[in-house]
Amino acid sequence: MGNGAQADCLIPTTKLIAVRIIQCYNTDKRDANKRKGGKHMNPVYEKLLKCYDCYKEKIDFEPKVAVVLGSGLGNFAKTVDVKAELPYSEIEGFPVSTVPGHAGKFIFGYINEIPVVLMQGRVHYYEGYPITDVVLPTRLMKMMGAKILFLTNASGGINPAFHAGSLMLIRDHISCFAPNPLIGPNIDELGTRFPDMSHVYDEDLQEIIKGTAKENDIELFEGVYAQLTGPSFESPSEIQMLHKMGASAVGMSTVVEAIAANHMGMKICGVSCVSNLAAGMNSAPLTHEEVQEAANAVAPKFEKLLSESVTKFGNVL
């Protein structure tokens, strides 16, 4: 992407000065409020606001749909009318992905006139970040303006009907051993203390995705996704446990992000790429390379499903 592609969203000097004045005012006001009533501002929320200020200083773009690109979807950005990019490393205090295949930047642009922000590379709990940092990108994308969160990932298949390359619409989830990102003092500015989790994955969005898959003759399973912490793959006994609990696929991400997004009132949907059968389902050992290869192989139809579904999300925004 050349410099011209980013020009539309880079902030002009005069506007930048105005933005900085507003930010200084907000910062002074925020500092004054830290001790209001003898209370300090929640450090998690304070860090989020600093990241948001950094984004506003650098990017003039308001997305409506946020997409987290999992393994194998790193090239999806090539299908987007890109207007600007923002590397995570240029956002103060922002966690940076250390996993191979995760580029580590936000991409802003349009999918058939729908303004989107793509998260090209996510951070995981197993990388050593506190769980509040793992969900910070999700919270930040909501603050940017995104109303819908489309989560994608690579997973291990537990349902015996799955095969490497199967796509699964996430109908519900199970959190196993990963800490809940809402633990600690509630950030009232983001959401309620005890959010309902009965319908995390929006039914209208699910119908759009299922309809899009049918129109394009893309096989799409449905099921329950379970998140464990990683980074080690699951043991055969853990897979048996998850199967008995009703899980269809397992991975090391997504659920905590969905919890944080639900807390903030976002509409959520998700599709998982089953890149391998989980431990104990076959005799071959599991490797990250196998996950990456399978995800890359199914990428073209996954990208088509993602692109056309997001386009239709315009009807529910």
**Identified catalytic residue from 42, 55, 66, 102:** 102
**What integer is the mean pLDDT of 75-91?**
93
* Residue 288 bears catalytic tag: yes
pLDDT tens digits, one per residue of 297-311: 788 999 999 999 999
**Identified catalytic residue from 42, 166, 272, 276:** 276
* % of residues, the chain, pLDDT over 70: 84
**Identified catalytic residue from 288, 290, 297, 303:** 288
pLDDT tens digits, one per residue of 72-82: 787 888 889 99
pLDDT band at 85 (very low <50, low <70, confident <90, very high): very high
The pLDDT score that the predictor gives to residue 255 is 98
**Identified catalytic residue from 88, 124, 201, 279:** 124
pLDDT tens digits, one per residue of 178-191: 999 999 999 999 99
pLDDT tens digits, one per residue of 15-49: 555 555 555 545 544 554 454 444 678 999 999 99
* Residue 125 bears catalytic tag: no
* Residue 263 bears catalytic tag: no
Burial bucket for residue 49 (CB in 10 Å: 0-12, 13-18, 19+): middle
* Residue 276 bears catalytic tag: yes
**Identified catalytic residue from 146, 252, 264, 278:** 252
* Residue 124 bears catalytic tag: yes
The pLDDT score that the predictor gives to residue 96 is 85
**Identified catalytic residue from 77, 84, 154, 168:** 154
* Residue 243 bears catalytic tag: no
Instruction: Please give the domain boundaries of the chain with CATH numbers for all domains.
Output: 60-315 (3.40.50.1580)
pLDDT tens digits, one per residue of 117-134: 999 989 999 999 999 999
**Identified catalytic residue from 75, 126, 290, 293:** 126
pLDDT tens digits, one per residue of 205-249: 999 999 999 999 999 999 999 999 999 999 999 999 999 999 999
Residue 9: is its pLDDT beyond 80? Answer: no
Both tokens of residue 73? 């979807």
* Residue 253 bears catalytic tag: yes
pLDDT tens digits, one per residue of 131-173: 999 999 999 999 999 999 999 999 999 999 998 889 999 999 9
Q: What angle do CA 117, 121, 127 make, to 5 degrees?
A: 135
